[in-house]
A and B are shown apart, each in its own frame.
Chain A
Amino acid sequence: MLYVISIIPEDLELVIPGNVGFFEVLIVVSFLIHILFVNITVGSSALAVVQEIKGIRTKRAEDDMLAAQLATHTSILKSIAVVMGIAPLLLISVLYTQYFYPSTILIGKAWLSLLLILLVAFLFLYAYKFTWDKMTHIRKKRVHVLIGAVGSAMLLFVPLIFIVNVVSMLYPDMWEESKGFFHALTYYPQVWQRYIHFILASFAIAGFYLYFWNNRLQKKNGKNEQSKANLCMQKQGKRLGLQVMIGTTALQFIAGTWLLMNFEREIRLLYMGDDPFLTGLLLSSIFVTMILLFFLYLLMKHDKRKYFMMSLASFILVLGIMGWMRHELRETYIKPYKDEVPQTTEVQVNETNAE
């Protein structure tokens, strides 16, 4: 007897409990909210360490205060980032069981190690935040920087595991030859391109948040009631935030192009004219990013609320387009497999019972 077996497993027999189109909207939206908090957490943790080192060099109180503020952002937002991740994880498990489960299990031990890495990183980052005022002597300060750096370095590593997983699920044909996480880092295309794209975004969004937060502090408390160091910190926070965001966003044009160039030829061409919709998405994302940069520049020059609102609006638009494009890309990659081995979207009549 000859058995023809697909590379993709059959879908589970239980029905996907809802409208697939609606679930796709949910996964894009919930993923974006999750990744927004992740971005700020990852970016802020690294910026905090850099800023603290700068503070040691300059011996200016406001530098150290800004670093402490960044560490507090990291500590608070990481908790929200984790719970926000539940919905997209639930949805990807239900919608893409046939792809996401194999790709997860193929890097199973690395996937499980995520728990340990994040646990240790979070504990380091708590220690970093809660010992800020206790480790001020220069000798202790060096150790303190080290604590933050270890936590932050671990956070910078974590996205790689996620990226390998979601890239691997696009390439079922390559599963058989794959040999675990470290092999996958160079085996699958797109991994490092996505990583750079992601890290740049983390700094950009952390920068934007830094601007937003210090602007809020400035407006909330009247200038007269605050200490000089506080005012300096807010001013510096706003400037640094915008500089980081503008710089890293500009670099995204290079990172994004590099990523696009690493798609398979047929898929790349879909984004370059073959598919009007996908091409439209790509072009508008480039266009809106330019507008975003323009408003950010104006914001830096004039520091007016209307420019902030315009920047925010174009940022949300870019974020939405990016999330949507990412989803379309996944769908494009897995379409041939999906056609061959469909998802379970309605109750199957059991043949043995029907007879």
Chain B
Amino acid sequence: MDFPVVEFPWFGNGSVIAVIAIVHVIVSHGIAIGATTLMVSLEYVGMKKNKEGLIDVAKKFSKWILIITTTVGALTGVGIWFSTTVIQPDSIGSLLRIFFWAWFVEWIVFITEVVLLLVYFYTWDKWKGAKRYIHNRIGMVLVLLGWLTAAIITGILSAKLTPGKWAETLSFWNAFFNPTYLPSLGFRTFIAIVLAVALVSIFVRFFIKDKNVQIDVFAVFGKINAVSLPLLLLTGVWYLFNIPQEAYDLIVWSTGMTKGIFTWVNIAGLIVFIIFGLWMLFKPGRISIILSLAVFFSSMGFIAEFEMVRESVRKPFIIYDYMYANGVVEKDAEKYNEEGYLPNSTFAAVEEVTEDNLYEAGEELYKGQCLACHTVDGWREKRAFATRLNGWTEEAIDTYIDTLHETRPFMPPFVGTEEEQKALAHFLHKVANEERQNNVEAKGEDE
């Protein structure tokens, strides 16, 4: 714990990052890349086939794409840095050093992307007649740049799970072109398009009043979707074949569902997407509102699930084979076990465990090693100690911490001296049992 700690007691520190990240994935994939592709495609088809209606739809798209990407999209993107800096400083600090130049190039691509988006939005009427195609070309470059931002960030994200040779060589290129880079990139590309179709269809259905234009739009969407959906499944399977076995085994667990429900939910979702895809192809004039709503919400469900899985399957690590989910560098574990974790923590309020400060010392250890994923009494009960450790004795907790990482392979081992471990057990026992008991009693008296 080389940095101060901020606690979100009820919401949970992990959930703060998750919410920002999920919103960002929806907007960056679905809108910035996906919807932009659809917009430019509509403009292209509109020009080819002389259908002004399609161009008008593309124009409407551009306004909303501009508004959404430069507000929610941009701020949640920066927000991932903001939130990880506050909550996972060791991890994001290390990632920034490994991938500095990737992010630096990403910066330049982002600037170009935003400038082009502004140009695209403000120049709809600039070119007329034969020169009209110039505007569409700008759009194509915009799509390419949007995709390039994903191509860069994917190198960083996939390396967190499968750093490959990086752990030995510390080479940037080994980390960037890691074993799951290509499947991840392919998977994300098609997710972006399928997601965009699912997100915008409901709005097309509701707000494009001209039935003929609506049919034209869905015909374009239907074709794009018919290519993307199978490729999405294919790249998804390719990706699954390349992640570590330990991670593969955690997939169902990471969603918090049972195996049965997991299978059922995902297959049902997939069927909805297939039906919707076929419907667009064969009956673009009669798209069902209920079905549009179903794909709208299930697409967000899928993307949230994908994010949760991607973030969770690499446990106990946050950077595979290098840093644990709580920011402890794997090879420092030995040092902490001998010298103690607290004396090596700059911002710990307690440095040495004594008889009198067991609780305070335990609390500091909790902040340093548990808080990244757990809460004392938060809304995610599976991660709340008040639920998990309810009724446990201090000794039982102490013994359990010993083998924690073996019984629960997705958890990092506790690092620190025996005294520190006792202090942590003492603290956890107090907050999970006695304090909670007091709270319950206090509430009881009020009533």
Contact = CB atoms under 8 A, between A and B. Distances in A.
A binds B: yes
Interface of A: 1, 3, 5-10, 12-18, 76, 78-80, 82-87, 89-90, 93-94, 97, 101-102, 104-106, 108-109, 111-112, 114-115, 118-119, 122-123, 126, 130, 175, 347, 350, 352
A79 B70 contact: yes
B329 interface: yes
Interface in B7-65: 16, 20, 63
Interface in B60-101: 63, 67, 70-72, 74-76, 78-79, 81-83, 85-87, 89-90, 92-94, 96-98, 100-101
A114 B82 contact: yes
Interface residues on B, range: 35 or more
Contact of A115 (B63, B79, B94, B100): B79
Contact of A10 (B67, B101, B115, B346): B346
Contacts of B106: 86
Contacts of A9: 2-3, 346-347
Contact of A76 (B16, B87, B118): B118
A126 B114 contact: no
Nearest to A23: B100
B107 interface: yes
A122 B66 CA distance: 12
Per CB-CB distance, the 7 closest pairs between chain A and chain B, nearest first, are A108-B6, A9-B2, A9-B346, A108-B86, A79-B70, A14-B97, A17-B100
Interface in B310-359: 329, 331, 334, 343, 346-347, 351-352
Nearest to B343: A3
Given A14-B94, A80-B115, A109-B6, A90 B76 contact: no
Contacts of B76: 115
B124 interface: no
Contact of A82 (B75, B81, B104): B75
Nearest to B335: A352
Contacts of A8: 346
Contacts of A89: 78, 81
Contacts of A93: 81, 85, 92-93, 96
A105 B85 contact: yes
Contacts of B74: 79, 82-83
Contacts of B92: 93
Given A108-B4, A108-B6, A112-B16, 10 more contacts: A3-B351, A18-B101, A85-B78, A87-B107, A94-B97, A94-B100, A112-B79, A112-B86, A347-B170, A352-B334
Given A80-B114, A83-B114, A86-B107, A17 B75 contact: no
Contacts of A118: 75
Nearest to B103: A90
Contacts of A114: 82
B93, B98, B106, B329, most chain A CB atoms within 10 A: B93
Contacts of B133: none
23 contacts: A1-B343, A5-B346, A14-B97, A79-B114, A80-B115, A82-B70, A82-B74, A83-B111, A87-B107, A90-B103, A93-B81, A94-B93, A97-B93, A104-B86, A105-B5, A105-B6, A111-B86, A112-B82, A112-B86, A115-B78, A115-B79, A118-B75, A130-B63
Contacts, number: 135
Given A3-B351, A15-B97, A87 B104 contact: yes
A221 B267 CA distance: 61
A122 B89 CA distance: 28
A224 B20 CA distance: 53
Contacts of B67: 123, 126
A8 B3 CA distance: 9
A22 to B, nearest CB: 12
Contacts of A12: 90, 93-94, 97
A115 B118 contact: no
A105 B93 contact: no
B239 interface: no
A89 B96 CA distance: 11
Nearest to A17: B100
A83 B71 contact: no
B110 interface: yes
Contacts of A115: 20, 75-76, 78-79, 82
Contacts of B75: 82, 115, 118-119, 122
A78 B74 CA distance: 11
A102 B93 CA distance: 12
B98 A5 contact: no
Contacts of B90: 12
Contacts of B352: 1, 3
Given A83-B110, A89-B81, A112-B82, A101 B93 contact: yes
A95 B36 CA distance: 36
A16, A97, A118, A347, most chain B CB atoms within 10 A: A97
Contacts of B86: 104-105, 108, 111-112
Nearest to A78: B70
Given A5-B351, A17-B100, A90 B107 contact: yes
